[in-house]
Amino acid sequence: MRYMKLVTAALIGFACLFCLSFTNDSTADSPFRIQDSEFISDTLQYPTETHLQNVQQLTFGGDNAEAYFSFDSKWIIFQRTKANEGVLCDQIFIGKVPKEGEKFEYKMVSTGKGRTTCGAFLKDGKHVIYASTHLGADTCPPVPDRKKYGNKYIWPLYDSYDIFMADLNGKIVKQLTHSKGYDAEATISPDGKTMLYTSDKDGDIDLYMMELKTGKEKRVTNTLGYDGGAWFSPDGKKIIWRASRPKTEAEVKEYKDLLAENLVAPTNMEVFVANVDGTDVKQITKFGQANWAPYFLPDSKRIIFASNHEYKRGFPFNLYTINGDGSSLKKISHDNGFDAFPMFSPDGKKLIFCSNRNNGGTRETNVFIADWVE
């Protein structure tokens, strides 16, 4: 679960852009642009974004995020909210990657009930997975009252979230998780056999792997703190994810107190990598603030991720690459609001991401695709 709308005060306080990664109150509350030397209003691409070519905007209007490729690089799955179209909170949509000059056409594949998040294609190209609260209620679940927590950004761990498999027409063919608690943020291994996801079913927010054929599960992380947004490396040998690690007595208490209320405050995150079996855990970033939405480059060595670490005020969020040993940090995107959710196409030719750019001064977040240039 990763996504949306906060008031301006919360934005300035920090994570109203980071909320895109989590709850779905709306998307990317970033109506303003910071005046600096490279300020450009409503642009598809900034001159300094030299690794991106032929940037194309795929969605126009609403709150669109978490856009990911199918295994054959021909389809995209993403989550979308647009109240004036009757989509009151995130639902899952799919569409074919358009050719140059074509319009991006998409359709809903979730039920339209409850709230959904974190879609992914299966390797057969005929099915998708996503998390949904629709078994709990047809309506959108309530968002937390942040005033109760000093207007801190708080993300709800809806215990009605479970993960489902559906065909491309939206028919649910299987319920994959059944635990009482938050089950979401699922991705699929390169061989198509294993699902990696986040759950709080054992008392903390951890990563789990499930064999899709047998349902056999393994807990991957065991350190106190939020672990989520995990992906496999393209070669299938490693996993990468974002994590919080409360250390002081006060931090641990706050984390546990919120968790007892099915809540988490994910404002301090770093990128971690481990072997696919969960061994040899390494913290890659140590920048402070929010470093998240990590994904491996096609070489399975370098990493791309979103971060606000350059800005004490908590925004903008931009995309960066870094080596697997934490060296050679490089800034990739330069929007003055929000760039996040990067994913490379399996063929390594394209990068998809979500951004506030080119939104006409609104608070909308849209999906963009670009050719990747080394």
User: What would the DSSP string read from start to end of 5-72?
Assistant: ---HHHHHHSTTTGGGGS--SSS---------TT--SS-S--TT-TTEEEEEE---SSEEEEEEE-TT
Q: State residue 361's pLDDT score.
A: 86
Between residues 34 and 240, the one the model is more confident about: 240
Euclidean distance between CA atoms 185 and 135, whole angstroms? 17
Q: Which residues pair with 206 in a beta bridge?
A: 199
Question: How large a percentage of the chain has pLDDT more than 70?
Answer: 89
Q: Is residue 2 part of a domain?
A: no
Structure tokens, 159: 């215990």
Note whether 43 and 33 are within 8 A (CB): no
Q: What average pLDDT is seen over the chain?
A: 89
Q: State residue 26's pLDDT score.
A: 35
pLDDT higher than threshold 60 for residue 15: no
Euclidean distance between CA atoms 360 and 39, whole angstroms? 14
Euclidean distance between CA atoms 285 and 85, whole angstroms? 40
pLDDT tens digit string along 74-83? Answer: 999 999 999 9
Q: Is residue 18 part of a domain?
A: yes
**Residue 88 CB-half CA count within 13 A:** 10
Q: Is residue 49 part of a domain?
A: yes
> In degrees, to the nearest 5, what angle opens at C-alpha 177 toward C-alphas 281 and 204?
45
Q: State residue 29's pLDDT score.
A: 28
Structure tokens, 12: 């300035």
Domain that holds residue 190: 8-372
Select from 61, 117, 125, 59 the least CA-distant residue to 352: 59
pLDDT higher than threshold 70 for residue 4: no
Structure tokens, 364: 């909308």
Distances (CA, A) of 60 to 56, 328, 336, 355, 366: 11, 35, 19, 11, 6
Structure tokens, 41: 């209003």
Q: Which residues pair with 296 in a beta bridge?
A: 303
3-state secondary structure of 351: strand
Rounded to 5 degrees, φ, ψ at 124 are -70, -10
pLDDT tens digit string along 21-75? Answer: 333 333 332 222 233 334 445 799 999 999 999 999 999 999 999 999 999 999 9
Mean pLDDT along residues 100-108: 94
Q: Is residue 1 part of a domain?
A: no
Q: Is residue 132 part of a domain?
A: yes
pLDDT tens digit string along 257-316? Answer: 999 999 999 889 999 999 999 999 999 999 999 999 999 999 999 999 999 999 988 889
Select from 118, 122, 199, 131 the least CA-distant residue to 163: 131
Q: Is residue 281 part of a domain?
A: yes
Q: Report the residue count for the chain.
A: 374
Say how many domains are in the chain.
Answer: 1
Q: State residue 41's pLDDT score.
A: 54
Rounded to 5 degrees, φ, ψ at 371 are -75, 140
Question: How large a percentage of the chain has pLDDT more than 90?
Answer: 83
User: What per-residue string of b and e applies to 52-69 under the rule 16 or more CB within 10 Å gives b?
Assistant: beebbebbeebbbbbbbb
Distances (CA, A) of 325 to 138, 172, 244, 322: 45, 41, 19, 8
Euclidean distance between CA atoms 5 and 358, whole angstroms? 18
- Contacts for 150 with CB less than 8 Å, ≥ 6 apart: none
Q: Is residue 208 part of a domain?
A: yes
Euclidean distance between CA atoms 89 and 27, whole angstroms? 10
3-state secondary structure of 285: coil
DSSP-derived secondary structure letter, 179: -
User: What's the CATH code of the domain at 42?
Assistant: 2.120.10.30
Q: Is residue 3 part of a domain?
A: no
pLDDT tens digit string along 147-197? Answer: 999 888 899 999 999 999 999 999 999 999 999 999 999 999 999 999 999
Distances (CA, A) of 169 to 86, 106, 108, 195, 211: 19, 12, 8, 21, 24
**First and final C-alpha spacing in the chain:** 31
